[in-house]
A and B are shown apart, each in its own frame.
Chain A
Amino acid sequence: MRKILVALAVLILLSSISVATAKDEIVIGFTMSQTGKFNSESKEQFQGLKLWADQVNAKGGIYVKSLGKNLTVKLVYYDDESSKDRVQQLYTKLITEDKADFLISPYSSGLTASAAIVASQYGKIMIATGAASDSIFNKGYNCIYQIYTPASRYLTGAIDMLKAVDPNAKKIAIVYEDSKFAKDVCKAAKDYAEQNGFEVVLFESYAPGTTDFTSLINKIIAKSPDAIIGGGHFADGETFAKQLYEKRVKVKLISLLVAPAVPEFAKIGKAALYVTGPSQWEPMVRYSPEMAKKLGIEWFGPTVEEFVEAYKKAYGYEPGYHAAGGYVAGLVLQKAIEDAGTLDTEAVKKALEKMDIMTFFGRISFDTGEYYGRQKGHEMVYLQWQEKKGELVKVVVWPESAKSADLIYPLTLKFGKETTETPAEAPAKEEKGPGFEAILAIAGLAGIAYITRRFKP
């Protein structure tokens, strides 16, 4: 009996040693929001990342010089339910039990901040994708690297674009939704505009959920700006664009957050025409290896066409910027590992600090100063709704290096010979159904009624 036990113990010991030394895969850990409010964005991001892993593994893996062989990639992930409760628990598990070599962030800045503490506690590199906040990056972390263009540079490109297309334009109106994100973006845009010699004639916010912009639009008309920038989310941006059109406001450029990037924006018809807006990435951008050569930096990974084609083949539809962000997170990690030639965290960190590459997503390089790890190379692209064969289509018009069509300027072209007078008819009110909230409220009331009845037998 004793001998058997001893033999068994030796066997277990041996097997554990052999497991510990044989490294034949790179484990990448992350949580995704399979359920909860970030569900759809997070799924896209995951699909992008998975496509990258599948492609790398199909080629035999990532070559690691110090081991002299290719290592395949293994993705380990859990559902964080879009909530903070479990993020730290799951990231600790990923690091200590699943032995993740590298981490990818959850979707959204809030969840990323929670994960960042655990990552930095264990000194693990975490690539943050789907997080556009600036505020994580001046908090002393030294292992978090951002893929997205941060909020502080979201609308600054619109000002560059205006300056390039019309040197005579001088007056800008900035109108934004009263939310943290839109406010941060617009404050940064205001400073940037003033530095560039523009006069900000109007800087005003509106409450979230605003449906009637009449008074704001009258103020804009009174100041007669050359351009309007701002916005907030989809619903308010769409309404704002619609009412600007109904009032025939004669500005030369409109650039709004979020709304123009959403395909449904085309539903407002002619009001959407020539409106521009920023996006992290679009499938028709034109980043290319030639361009990288011109800039004197290295091109890495597939071309835009190759990526869009592969994604369509795998999932049946065109990728958006969430999916592209997921893919690039993997790509950046791959490049850093290949450059470092080892899986050692310090060496890979050095490779990330030095990184300055061009990919199908755009340029990637990281800040190493006060905002360590913040994205520095990547630029927002600006898209514009244009008319092609009677249909509205999105095209990328800025920056020069990425554009797929020329900017149509000024916006007033769409009014043709119409007069500036405001049309007599009032803006059509949208019927809003009771929808999901009502059902939830009824279910909640029923639940409360049931529970309270239980106390009174």
Chain B
Amino acid sequence: MMTFDQNAFQIIFTASLIASSCGLLGVFLMLRKMAMTGDAISHAVLPGIVIGFLVSGTQRGLEVIIGAGILGILATLMIDWLRKKARVQLDASIGITFTLLFAIGIILISAFAYRVDLDQECVLYGEIAYLPIDLWITDSGISLGPRILWIAILNLVLVLGFIGLFYKELKLTSFDEKFGIVIGIPASAINLGLMSMVSYTTVSSFEAVGAILVVALLVVPPATAFLWTRQLSRLIQLTLSIGVIVSIFGYYLAYLLDSSIAGMMVTVAGILFFVSVILTRFQVKSRIGTQIEAKAFSS
């Protein structure tokens, strides 16, 4: 029953690429205690997607990505504004921002329903299973393979480029923002850059895995990796491996149960997370014999 054909490979490969892009950004989001900001952004890009759609007339235009990017940055700025200028507590600022922007997105979809062929359900939970039949065909009629695969490759290349270029800055500002500012790193520009990458990745992935599941891929693999290690390079390696494992098992389990691949990927990620919690707890307990190690762990 388990088959490994070209379709399976394409889906698993694309899913791994998306999981990697999300995981790479997610590590930094988590270290900055911005996991929920990432969640907020993935919802807040909706009006940007709709406006981009209205401007370009297609779900695949560059305008959609630009619109989403702008809304992602807008959401970041609004959360910041509510927190610093209006002095609303951070969690409430996040809640107010993403619900307002998401609501505006749904209103826009409803208002232009006759022009926007944008399924709310698709935005929320996508469908990667149709990937092999959605091909990128050039004007001269040559098929270049699945369209979403190319989108995912481009996304990962840009994410890798961003992180490669600003690795030092991201690392410093994630661990000690004030020190970063002192030695001359433009922390708020780096932050906005990271947030625009998160918005771009959300849009780039929502066709395949949907907005809410993007959040899962942003947050769960890094959180799982964090249970095992605190070292940034190991954290990134582990997150990437978890992304690949989640894609493989997610695909086959969804195949077995005949259900959503994206949903199953998150379920697998969740199982990995809870298994890790239990295993690392067990590890801590068996270690506690020596006082020093226990102390080192709690510091």
Q: Do A and B bind each other?
A: no
Chain A contacts to B: CB under 8 angstroms: none
